[in-house]
Amino acid sequence: MDRRKITLAAMWAFAVALMGLLYWKIELGGEDERRRDPSDVPTFDAEDEPIGGTGNTGAMTPIEAGPPRTARGDRRHTGRSDAAGPGSPTLLYRASVHGNVAGQAVVDAEGNAWVGSLNHHVYAFDPSGTERWNRDLGGPVYVTPALDAAGERLYVGADSDFFFCLDAATGEVVWHLRTEGDVDTGIALAPDGSIVFAAGEDVWSVASDGTPRWRFHARIKIYSAPAIDDEGTVYVGAQDDFLYAIASDGRLRWRVDTDDDVDGAPVIGDDGTIYVGGDNRLVLALDRDGHELWRAEVGGYVRASLALGRNGDILVPVFGPHPRMLSLDAATGEERWSFSVDAGSSSDLGVGSAPVVDRDGNIYFGADDSFLYAISPLGALRWVYETGDRVDSDPVLGLDGTLYVGSDDDHLYAIR
């Protein structure tokens, strides 16, 4: 009897696995007209001879006001919002996503929200927090999705080695691209309308219809979300200890040796300066041709993205042994203030959540102590809100001032 039960259980397990395999083959392979072919895409390499910078100087075009449709709110990753954030934390909703939230949520003008979960699904919620749909992407979803300008298409990737374009209203697959590597980073929308993201060791540029435009190959895995300037130059770090500048056609402009992993996204300042942190416990400031302007020691890993304060200062999330949010002068790298959190003394714990800055300069971020923090433009505590687990997800502000953030307690929070 026991042997028969074991055999039956094994047969059922095999049948379930086979159904899953067939699902992915039917849905994402074969002759599916939604599938995009990456085989003939022009490919460039980190070892290529650099073509050099643009020599451009001067201010960046101001970021257009709007909802947080992409990672860090815009292609420069400023982390700024034109909304006024909550003066005190009142829970609007707490929506289950049945897995840890590593990426940021994206939100449209009406307050609909989309977020990925490590349970392999991406979720859509209406403004009240009611689930509209969910979609299984075949692997953990670490990535921050991107919503197109019309609010009709959602771009998202997963550790299934696929990048998807979904119907934002229904979750149905519009097209998909096999990337040959896990898609783990935020997605940026370039000035020409193309979609830029990293998967495995590659940076991809894809047209809005899913046609691959180019592919840039780094030496080791990329966790850094690409930032893009007004000319379409892409800036991205990698675990090969380099920061790369890639031209809008995929050619290498320059590379800078950072001496350690770069996992957080670069941020592009209002004057075009590029700021980036890494496991070297430094923040670097570079001009658009890759020349170092200054470096600042911050005493811990910088693995989350940086942000820009309203006055242009650089906001730096720092890991242990002294976890904190740090503000640096953009011109010199000198420390202006710091706000400490009680996340332990381990070098692998601290502030892994990149800050969002509201229109009044107030700063919101999460930490590994399970709290969401609101601090003033000068680093004074305004309020705290406790979630059920670590907060590594980046918070964002909707147009009405609602603050959205994911937690490792398997929920998306909306706070007013």
User: What residue type is assigned to position 275 of the chain?
Assistant: Y
- Give yes or no for a contact between 70 and 226, defined as CB atoms under 8 angstroms apart: no
Looking at the structure, do residues 298 and 370 belong to the same domain, yes or no?
Answer: yes
Looking at the structure, do residues 269 and 331 belong to the same domain, yes or no?
Answer: yes
Q: Is 15 helix (H, G, I), strand (E, B) or coil?
A: helix
- Flag residues of the chain having pLDDT under 50: 1-26, 29
DSSP designation for 350 = B
Looking at the structure, do residues 81 and 216 belong to the same domain, yes or no?
Answer: yes
Looking at the structure, do residues 183 and 262 belong to the same domain, yes or no?
Answer: yes
CATH number of the domain bearing residue 159: 2.130.10.10
User: What residue type is assigned to position 406 of the chain?
Assistant: G
| Predicted pLDDT at 303 | 96
Domain containing 246 equals 33-415
DSSP designation for 319 = B
Looking at the structure, do residues 25 and 161 belong to the same domain, yes or no?
Answer: no
Looking at the structure, do residues 101 and 18 belong to the same domain, yes or no?
Answer: no
| Predicted pLDDT at 33 | 84
Domain count, the chain: 2
Looking at the structure, do residues 173 and 314 belong to the same domain, yes or no?
Answer: yes
| Predicted pLDDT at 18 | 41
Looking at the structure, do residues 226 and 284 belong to the same domain, yes or no?
Answer: yes
401: left (phi > 0), else alpha (psi -120 to 50), else beta? Answer: left
Could you tell me the pTM of the whole model?
A: 0.92
* Pairing verdict, β 113-116 and 106-107: antiparallel
How far apart are the C-alpha atoms of 147 and 143, rounded to whole Å? 13
How far apart are the C-alpha atoms of 286 and 263, rounded to whole Å? 17
Looking at the structure, do residues 12 and 77 belong to the same domain, yes or no?
Answer: no
Looking at the structure, do residues 28 and 104 belong to the same domain, yes or no?
Answer: no
Looking at the structure, do residues 186 and 312 belong to the same domain, yes or no?
Answer: yes
- Give yes or no for a contact between 199 and 180, defined as CB atoms under 8 angstroms apart: yes
- Joined together, the tokens standing for residue 82 give 């034109």
| Predicted pLDDT at 38 | 86
Looking at the structure, do residues 237 and 310 belong to the same domain, yes or no?
Answer: yes
**DSSP for 31-81?**
T-TTEE--TT--EEETTSPP-------SPPPPPPP----SGGGSTT---B-
- Joined together, the tokens standing for residue 279 give 């496991």
| Predicted pLDDT at 31 | 55
- Give yes or no for a contact between 132 and 112, defined as CB atoms under 8 angstroms apart: yes
**DSSP for 229-277?**
-TT--EEEE-TTSEEEEE-TTS-EEEEEE-SS---SPPEE-TTS-EEEE
